[in-house]
């Protein structure tokens, strides 16, 4: 018997409860594609919250996915600390030069005021406006960079890794500052209308740091930070692997995990079953080369591997679908979910 049709929010909440909704929820985590919809450059698109709101509305109307994704770009947070953004014609904006040139400067660093950060205020205005449209039918996703991963932009990758291993006192000082910022930024988004917060934490992935070192650094930071966020959180490792630290991610209090296309989705689902909802794991880079037929095949494979019993949201593996992914492929993903993702699943 087919389940009654649910709203997107009902669908997502049901699968987060590790039960089967009417169909598999899917998130198309689209950012720069909104600029395509409006015929704007990426820089112009992100210059006004009204543009982002309209872009998200049009994208969901076209693709019928189950969220509004209010992520602008990662470097937006760096601007609050005094950093710069580099815009590109065909890809996500990137961070400019590091703001911390000498680790000793961490001693004098001040936590930015969310209310005084113009870029963050644009994002909050967009969240508030989209929430009026979403009402209680569509999840509105806010995003933060984890305190443990933000320093890659604040000081550069190599300098940050040196800080972790060679200057632990300054490392923990920076973590304390970043935790205060992250909590304030996450809670401001929730107050503006976000349903949940995506906690991007790629440096915590075993792809970058060993699980043993993660447990003494990024794990400790996540536990201290997530416990102070006033709403549900999903940890996303931005294409990084997760299987060796699944138990630790559960212990942080996160409700879901964004997983890599480099690991077996079936193995990830088994490890997360009834503990973490799995979000993933379509390969966004490969997606740019897919045909519609390949997109349909990949969706079917993912649903077969992980959707049984709920606890699974189909999405890309990185948390941002590249500009180069075509409309035809995105429509094929939509159609495949709607064709093959209804519960009860075949052979389910």
Calpha distance 49→122 (Å, rounded): 5
Q: What is the pLDDT along the chain (348 residues), one digit of tens a residue?
A: 456 899 999 999 999 999 999 999 999 999 999 999 999 999 999 999 999 999 999 999 999 999 999 999 999 999 999 999 999 999 999 999 999 999 999 999 999 999 999 999 999 999 999 999 998 999 999 999 999 999 999 999 999 999 999 999 999 999 999 999 999 999 999 999 999 999 999 999 999 999 999 999 999 999 999 999 999 999 999 999 999 999 999 999 999 999 999 999 999 999 999 999 999 999 999 999 999 999 999 999 999 999 999 999 999 999 999 999 999 999 999 999 999 999 999 875
Please give the pLDDT value at position 97. 97
Please give the pLDDT value at position 14. 98
Q: Please count the other Cβ atoms lying within 10 Å of the Cβ belonging to residue 180.
A: 15
Give residues with Cβ within 8 angstroms of 155, minimum separation 6.
98, 99, 100, 101, 103, 163
Calpha distance 31→319 (Å, rounded): 10
pTM summary value: 0.97
Write the CATH number of the domain with boundaries 8-29+103-113+138-340: 3.20.20.210
The label of the residue with tokens 């580099």 reads 86
In the chain, what is the straight-line distance between the N-terminal and C-terminal CA atoms, in Å? 13
Tokens of 289: 């080369």
Please give the pLDDT value at position 3. 60
- The DSSP 8-state label assigned to residue 257 in this structure reads E
The domain limits of the chain are: 8-29+103-113+138-340
Calpha distance 277→310 (Å, rounded): 8
Please give the pLDDT value at position 1. 44
Indicate if the alpha-carbon torsion angle 112, 214, 238, 13 is positive or negative. Answer: negative
Q: Residue 65 in contact with residue 55, Cβ under 8 Å? A: no
Calpha distance 262→259 (Å, rounded): 9
CA 246 to chain centre: 17
Please give the pLDDT value at position 348. 58
């Amino acid at each position: 018997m087919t389940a009654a049709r649910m709203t997107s929010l009902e669908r997502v909440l049901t699968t987060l409860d590790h039960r089967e909704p009417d169909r598999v929820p899917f998130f198309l985590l689209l950012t720069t594609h909104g600029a395509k919809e409006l015929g704007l450059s990426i820089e112009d698109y992100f210059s006004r919250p009204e543009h982002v709101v309209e872009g998200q509305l049009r994208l969901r109307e076209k693709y019928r996915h189950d969220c509004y994704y209010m992520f602008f770009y990662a470097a937006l947070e760096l601007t609050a600390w005094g950093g710069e953004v580099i815009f590109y014609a065909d890809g996500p904006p990137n961070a400019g030069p590091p703001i911390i040139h000498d680790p000793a400067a961490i001693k004098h660093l001040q936590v930015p005021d969310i209310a005084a950060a113009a870029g963050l205020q644009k994002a909050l205005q967009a969240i508030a406006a989209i929430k009026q449209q979403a009402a209680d039918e569509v999840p509105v996703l806010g995003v933060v960079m984890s305190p443990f991963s933000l320093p890659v932009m604040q000081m550069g990758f190599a300098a940050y890794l040196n800080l972790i291993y060679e200057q632990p006192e300054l490392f923990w000082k920076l973590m304390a500052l970043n935790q205060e910022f992250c909590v304030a930024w996450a809670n401001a988004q929730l107050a503006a209308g976000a349903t949940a917060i995506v906690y991007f934490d790629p440096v915590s992935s075993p792809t970058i740091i060993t699980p043993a070192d993660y447990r003494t650094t990024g794990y400790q930071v996540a536990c201290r930070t997530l416990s102070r966020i006033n709403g549900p959180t999903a940890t996303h490792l931005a294409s990084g692997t997760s299987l060796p630290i699944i138990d630790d991610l559960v212990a942080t209090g996160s409700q879901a995990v964004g997983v890599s296309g480099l690991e077996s989705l079936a193995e990830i689902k088994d490890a997360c079953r009834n503990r973490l909802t799995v979000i993933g794991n379509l390969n966004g880079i490969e997606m740019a080369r897919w045909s519609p037929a390949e997109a349909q095949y990949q969706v079917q494979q993912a649903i077969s591997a992980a959707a049984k019993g709920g606890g699974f949201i189909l999405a890309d593996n990185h948390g941002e679908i590249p500009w180069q992914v075509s409309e035809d492929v995105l429509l094929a993903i939509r159609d495949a979910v709607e064709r093959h993702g209804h519960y009860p699943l075949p052979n389910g």
